[in-house]
Amino acid sequence: MQHFPIFLDLANRPVAIAGNGPFALAKLRLLLKTEARLHLFAAAPEADLLALARLRGVTIHDRPAEAGDLAGTVLAYAAHGDDDADARFAALARAAGALVNVVDNLEASAFITPAIVDRDPVTIAIGTEGAAPVLARALKSDLEKQLPQGLGPLARAGKLFRPMAEALPQGAPRRDFWADYYFNTGPQVLAEVGEGLLDHALRDLLDQHLKAEPPRGRVDLVGAGPGDPELLTQRARRLLDRADVVIHDRLVPAAILELARREATFVAVGKEGFGPSTPQDQINAVMIDHAYSGAHVVRLKGGDASIFGRLDEETQALTEAGVEWAVTPGITAASAAAAAIGRSLTQRGRNTDLRILTAHDIDGFADHDWRALARPGAVAAIYMGKRAARFWQGRLLMHGASGATPVTCVENASRPDQRILTTRLDRLAEDLARAAPLGPVLTLFGLAPAKAAATLPALLEEFA
């Protein structure tokens, strides 16, 4: 892009046109659309040029421009249609610090004037870097046909009314009001009664929208999966794409949040390891407040919302508040960890059940049916097991589990920084302490990675 399009404020600023003929007349007509202070330099101006300039209050200089005439000039158009005269004027204007356009001379011009579709204050500028004026004209005439003539008056009245519309809550209610104005009420009023009554119509419409039932918000509780954006469901992506508000756990990585609507409000809640956490009541209140304001809320949770995600507490609060909700499942950390090591979580002849357990609950280390887990072949996916490793290792050994039982810890499953630690039950606590994982860890008790199977014949035999 050699020429960068901008919209220049010309209100009350001097703009000079030099020339006496059809080029100067065309530029004058164009610039009369602006609020610039126009100066015309034309010795013995032609009749139509003079008439238009007089009629519209243009300052007429009945002679060529001289140094000193152009001080403070913002834009200068050399429109003589004569190379020498244009070059002389352009040099003066440049010296005065003006941006210069020489008509039909791209090289000598500091800027070019685009083809313009004018529905002031809606203005569309079309440029082709001088490559294809025909194309620019074709595009202009297409757009002229597409954009209703009323767009200008509609937008003018709308612009003046913007401060008033702030009486409506931001987001959906305000968007709906403007959509109603620009696409229904506005064009209708304009066609039936004219521009003069647009302001009235806006006031009535605002009253209607202020009185209307607030649009009903809703909450989608969405599983974000283990971290890899590719492991989001299509529905999760679609919901993120439409969300007004995204309330997310700290486990949800930036790469996933970036898929949400850019204008969405993001609220980070929840726990970071043992760090500060947002009380559940507060999370519920944030969801409900946003839903009451009419927002479409996505409550985004790591993995699957129904696994150690306090889902029922949130849906119950929503139900009690009368807020509509639905759950979108996600890929849980156990599935991602099993995929990472290429092993099945269940296997014919080995384990017909799979335990999904947390090493922690609200009271501290969580107790389980250790005896059942200690049986050969048992498999468990242990969430939040990092800190409690020594505790559950001790319990299992005490209840008769073999010290040689394979244990695999998958840190940051599915993320670029994924790490796999393979160990056995009797060495778990020390190996884990040495690996010192910083990210979330899913521990697969009773499973070793498929790749490593060949190097672990003893274990293979035990679980064959």
Please identify, using beta-carbon distances, which residue of 38 and 413 lies nearer to ligand SAH: 413
Find the shortest distance in angstroms from Cβ 316 to ligand SAH.
Answer: 18
Taking residue 185's Cβ as centre, other Cβ atoms within 10 Å add up to: 18
Answer yes or no: 86 catalytic: no
| Given 249, 301, 304, 386, the catalytic residue | 249
Find the shortest distance in angstroms from Cβ 214 to ligand SAH.
Answer: 32
Instruction: Assess contact for 406 and 447: CB atoms under 8 A.
Output: yes
Contacts of 91 (CB under 8 A, 6+ apart): none
Instruction: Answer yes or no whether residue 302 interacts with ligand SAH by CB under 6 A.
Output: yes
Instruction: Answer yes or no whether residue 445 interacts with ligand SAH by CB under 6 A.
Output: no
Please identify, using beta-carbon distances, which residue of 147 and 259 lies nearer to ligand SAH: 259
What distance in Å separates the CA atoms of residue 217 and residue 294, rounded to the nearest whole number?
A: 4
Find the shortest distance in angstroms from Cβ 377 to ligand SAH.
Answer: 23
Residue from 219, 333, 389, 459 binding ligand SAH (CB under 6 A):
333
Residue linked to tokens 């726990």: 271
Residue from 69, 86, 220, 304 binding ligand SAH (CB under 6 A):
304
Instruction: Answer yes or no whether residue 251 interacts with ligand SAH by CB under 6 A.
Output: yes
Instruction: Calculate the alpha carbon distances from 428 to 343, 351, 355, 424, 432 in Å.
Output: 20, 22, 19, 6, 6
Residue from 171, 440, 446, 449 binding ligand SAH (CB under 6 A):
440
Residue linked to tokens 């700290």: 250
Instruction: Assess contact for 396 and 376: CB atoms under 8 A.
Output: no
Please identify, using beta-carbon distances, which residue of 153 and 406 lies nearer to ligand SAH: 406
Instruction: Answer yes or no whether residue 425 interacts with ligand SAH by CB under 6 A.
Output: no
Looking at residue 121, its amino acid is P
Please identify, using beta-carbon distances, which residue of 175 and 390 lies nearer to ligand SAH: 390
Closest residue by beta carbon to ligand SAH: 303
Backbone dihedral region of 196: left (phi > 0), alpha (psi from -120 to 50 degrees) or beta? alpha
The stretch near ligand SAH (CB under 6 A) out of 25-33, 109-117, 306-314, 316-324 is: 306-314
The stretch near ligand SAH (CB under 6 A) out of 40-48, 158-166, 240-248, 329-337 is: 329-337
| Given 271, 281, 312, 361, the catalytic residue | 271
> Is the torsion defined by CA of 252, 258, 259, 262 positive or negative?
positive
Contacts of 86 (CB under 8 A, 6+ apart): 18, 19, 78, 79, 80, 102, 103, 105, 108
Find the shortest distance in angstroms from Cβ 428 to ligand SAH.
Answer: 15
Answer yes or no: 249 catalytic: yes
Residue from 119, 290, 296, 301 binding ligand SAH (CB under 6 A):
301
Residue from 28, 103, 189, 442 binding ligand SAH (CB under 6 A):
442
What distance in Å separates the CA atoms of residue 230 and residue 18, rounded to the nearest whole number?
A: 61
Residue from 270, 303, 406, 446 binding ligand SAH (CB under 6 A):
303
Residue from 20, 185, 293, 332 binding ligand SAH (CB under 6 A):
332
Residue from 25, 100, 307, 338 binding ligand SAH (CB under 6 A):
307
Minimal CA–CA distance to 239: which of 214, 269, 261, 254? 261
What distance in Å separates the CA atoms of residue 427 and residue 429, rounded to the nearest whole number?
A: 6
DSSP state of 376: T
Contacts of 10 (CB under 8 A, 6+ apart): 34, 35, 36, 74, 75
Identify the burial level of 306 via C-beta atoms within 10 angstroms of its C-beta, where 0-12 means exposed, 13-18 middle and 19 or more buried.
middle
Instruction: Assess contact for 167 and 206: CB atoms under 8 A.
Output: yes
Please identify, using beta-carbon distances, which residue of 239 and 382 lies nearer to ligand SAH: 382
Q: Compose the 208-227 pattern: x for residues touching ligand SAH by CB under 6 A, - for all others.
A: ------------------xx
Please identify, using beta-carbon distances, which residue of 78 and 336 lies nearer to ligand SAH: 336
Taking residue 325's Cβ as centre, other Cβ atoms within 10 Å add up to: 18
Please identify, using beta-carbon distances, which residue of 115 and 232 lies nearer to ligand SAH: 232
Name which of residues 364 to 423 contact ligand SAH (CB under 6 A).
383-384, 410, 412-415
Per DSSP, the residues of 246-275 read EEEETTS-HHHHTTS-TT-EEEEES--TTS
Contacts of 361 (CB under 8 A, 6+ apart): none
Find the shortest distance in angstroms from Cβ 256 to ligand SAH.
Answer: 11
- Written as six digits, the tokens of 423 are 């160990």
Residue linked to tokens 């003006």: 98
Please identify, using beta-carbon distances, which residue of 69 and 304 lies nearer to ligand SAH: 304
Interface size with ligand SAH, residues (CB under 6 A): 24
Instruction: Answer yes or no whether residue 232 interacts with ligand SAH by CB under 6 A.
Output: no
What distance in Å separates the CA atoms of residue 310 and residue 426, rounded to the nearest whole number?
A: 32
Catalytic residue IDs? 249, 271
Q: Which residues bind ligand SAH (CB under 6 A)?
A: 226-227, 251, 301-304, 307-309, 332-333, 336-337, 383-384, 410, 412-415, 440-442
